[in-house]
Structure 1
Amino acid sequence: MSRKVIYPAAPPVTVLLDLADNAAILRAALAAHAPSAGRITVHPTPAASDTTLALDILAALGKPTELPGTGGSIGPPAWILAADWILSLPDVRLTVLRAHLLDEASWSHLLTLRMRTGMHLVAVCHTRRPPAVMRTALRPLKHHTVSTDHGLGDLLAPAPTAPAPPSRAAEGRWITVPALAYLASHHTFPRCSCTPPPAPHPYVPERAYSIDQIAHRLATRTAYPQLAGALATAVFTGAPIAQLHTIRTGHLDSDAATLTLHDPRRTRRPGFTADCGIYTVPTWARPFLLAAANLVHLSPRGDDRLFTTGTPRALPYLTDFAEHCRLRPPQPAPPWPRPRTRRKKRAGAPEVQWYDGISSSRFEYISYEEWLHTAASAPPPRRRAP
């Protein structure tokens, strides 16, 4: 089971009264925004519904808000997705600006989100006293009111320095990931209940993939933790889609430090572990797996599979999501000798070819052990001066 899925105790709600609507308070609240450190500031859309507020929270978390259906009606609800991602962060403090404009439904869902995640909720009101809707919602809860005239303490303290996101040019580049070579393989993986030993191969060295860019793409290009968690698992284990679908929540430990994969048939994949094993989850992948486990517990659907939704066609196929993240396996070698033609190359992204376990001769073979040795001994990439 994932940690913090049994509703944790939340600190009292803080109501911050800013009668003068001071611009400095707004700038301080926005400057304190740092999702990776658990500091989230939401500026709600004016006159919006409760569903729009959930999308605003997802946007503040850095997630896209284009969900299937109306407000995510086809897949998991937006409020559940927000709770999943917040549960994967440490000690979350959610600051909601202009909270005096929220309606009754928005307050109901917001306080339910607080109960599920144990986060510290700070509601900023630009009125002399909280409105009646807000007072009614907070009446059964522990809360206290502070005023900007008496100091803010550490409520709006500056956020810690976060690593700069990759440039737009870097986000658009394709990253070839050898671990995805067997992602679309047609092998089957029957269910297994053994207790396997530790996997002989460690996860791929972080310097090999420009892993900071991969983690940034997984975190910002989908709101669904099943997609991000499944692709992250494929990156550090080399598991195909069929094997990812056999992973249960019990295969992930409480802190997402280890993950158990089963392969009782010992599928032949050159260079990868072809047996049951326990993998060490790298630090960058743990939030994705924690969020996927949280989703299973917060929205029961009859099974405990980690990377499925239970709703047909609710999510795109994993290879399509990998292409959306500009991640691809090693591609077939170009024909040699190259045909002479005067035709110009077609504009647009090249078509990505996925190895299906049949046409192996068409793909370049890369020794996984040799590639690991080269990646581990390679110097770290140079960073441009700001």
Structure 2
Amino acid sequence: MSTRIIFPSAAPVTVLLDPADDVAVTRAALAAHHLPAGHVTVHPAPAVRSQTLGFDILAALGKPAELPGNWGKEGPPVWNTAAAWILALPVARLLVLRAHLLDAECWSRLLVLRKRTGVHLVAFCHTRRPPAVMRTALRHVEHHTVSTGDAPGHLLDPAPEIAPPRRNGEGRWITVPALAYLAFHQDLPTCRCTPGPAGHPYVPERAYAIDQVVHRLATRTAVPQLAAALAIAVATGASASQLSTVHYSHLDPDATTLTLHDPFRTRRHGFTAGCGTYTVPPWARPFLLAAANLLHLSPRDGSLLAGPQHTLPALTAFAEHCRLRPPQPTPPRRKKKHKAAAPPPVQWYDGILPPTPQRPTYEFGTYEKWLHEAVRHTGLPASRRTSRRTRP
């Protein structure tokens, strides 16, 4: 199994007493939430239970409070998923408000999460003394109790003021040419070769707003496999067939390189055919690390980017949920003005097999044509159009 997780030693649990239930303390705890710095504040829902608390933690991590898919009687691995993201981001401090209302199962899950991730757990107890359930849970755990007046100042330091990112285009579609081959499915045989570095064309990130793509991948699913698979498809142009064969051993321990195999050397316009080792861009590494962490925490077969059978939705469906699509056919011209019609469904073209009515071709043009237009519209100098054909 993967050796990417080394359970770090966790700091002692801090029990912070706030018997007056001071609203200023609650506001300070909420203001201390700063995910880029690794500081997360969780405000549990009323009458919280173990599963609900796990979803509250995912929501505090910026993930949707749901895990789509058919997970069977055992239910979705909420706590393992939260631990995988905490390790990958990473998160150093977890503040939990209303901790005196948690039951024994919630405390058991929280302490296991702390042990697996090494996160500093700060439990806010809005009573004069910790309740019996909390005292029992912490009996064999290193902890210390402080009051709001004696609490270290850094626990409730407000997060730095950062201008919110511009999200004016949240609802608009982003055309990502690397997704042109995502829908291609083919049974690929097992390949155990050790390929060299793979080259692929330089795609100007300004052409499709890579920051928007990353934001959507990070906030529109809590399933690491979905986010990681689509991130690699955006970065490399890999097809669904290649992504389904990725083994955890194909990812290096620091998630800086990933090996993709294609023994058939399937031709894809503008991309390198065959097996190759790709450099993972920095923005995609947290997604891959989270997928590797979840695989370690929920052992199954060694498939890194695919969940258990019949559990996860299709990758193309997730791409549409993120409003990402490949280049689309040119819509037919309308001779007369009509009322605004519903937008046409997204066309997924494998780019390899001959076109059929069910599998249309692109009238928009080839990948090379799109790349040429994207480079021209972003204003890159002509020398870069030919010299920067591959990424380092």
Residues 1:71 and 1:230: Cα distance change in structure 2 (over 3 Å): closer
Tell me, in whole angstroms, the C-alpha distance in 2 between the residues paired with 1:157 and 1:243.
46
Deviation readout 1:67-120 (Å, 9 max, x if unpaired): 347999676321111111111123421000011111101001111111111111
Q: CA deviation at 1:5?
A: 1.9
Unaligned stretches of 5+ residues in structure 1: 380-386
Tell me, in whole angstroms, the C-alpha distance in 1 between the residues paired with 2:269 and 2:198.
15
Residues 1:72 and 1:107: Cα distance change in structure 2 (over 3 Å): farther
Contact 2:10–2:120 at 8 Å: present in 1 too? yes
Which residue matches 1:382?
A: none
Contact 1:28–1:156 at 8 Å: present in 2 too? yes
1:340 alignment partner, one of 332, 335, 341: 335
Q: 2:198 aligned with 1:196, yes or no?
A: no
Tell me, in whole angstroms, the C-alpha distance in 2 between the residues paired with 1:320 and 1:133.
44
Bigger drift between 98-107 and 154-163 goes to 154-163
Contact 1:51–1:71 at 8 Å: present in 2 too? no
Contact 1:204–1:236 at 8 Å: present in 2 too? no
Q: CA deviation at 1:371?
A: 5.8
SS at match of 1:286: helix
Tell me, in whole angstroms, the C-alpha distance in 1 between the residues paired with 2:3 and 2:83.
13
Which residue matches 2:367?
A: 366
Residues 1:126 and 1:115: Cα distance change in structure 2 (over 3 Å): same
Tell me, in whole angstroms, the C-alpha distance in 2 between the residues paired with 1:375 and 1:35.
35
Which residue matches 1:170?
A: 169
Contact 1:184–1:354 at 8 Å: present in 2 too? yes
Contact 1:84–1:292 at 8 Å: present in 2 too? yes
Partner AA of 1:352 in structure 2: V
Tell me, in whole angstroms, the C-alpha distance in 1 between the residues paired with 2:304 and 2:60.
25
Tell me, in whole angstroms, the C-alpha distance in 2 between the residues paired with 1:245 and 1:287.
19
Which residue matches 1:85?
A: 85
Trace 1:372-383 onto structure 2 (pairs within 5 A): 373-374=375-376, 378=380
Trace 1:287-306 onto structure 2 (pairs within 5 A): 287-301=286-300, 303-306=301-304
Q: 2:47 aligned with 1:52, yes or no?
A: no
Which residue matches 1:351?
A: 345
Q: CA deviation at 1:319?
A: 0.5
SS at match of 1:186: coil
Deviation readout 1:136-176 (Å, 9 max, x if unpaired): 11111111112111243211222244562443x41100000
Q: CA deviation at 1:377?
A: 5.0
Residues 1:223 and 1:373: Cα distance change in structure 2 (over 3 Å): same
SS at match of 1:229: helix
Residues 1:376 and 1:143: Cα distance change in structure 2 (over 3 Å): farther
Tell me, in whole angstroms, the C-alpha distance in 1 between the residues paired with 2:188 and 2:377.
30
Bigger drift between 109-118 and 196-205 goes to 196-205
Trace 1:149-188 onto structure 2 (pairs within 5 A): 149-162=149-162, 164-167=164-167, 169-188=168-187
Which residue matches 2:108?
A: 108
Deviation readout 1:12-64 (Å, 9 max, x if unpaired): 11111112222221111111112232111001111121111111111111111
Tell me, in whole angstroms, the C-alpha distance in 2 between the residues paired with 1:99 and 1:202.
52
Which residue matches 1:322?
A: 319
Q: CA deviation at 1:194?
A: 1.3
Considering only aligned residues, what root-mean-square deviation do their CA atoms show, in Å? 2.4
Partner AA of 2:46 in structure 1: P
Q: 2:282 aligned with 1:283, yes or no?
A: yes
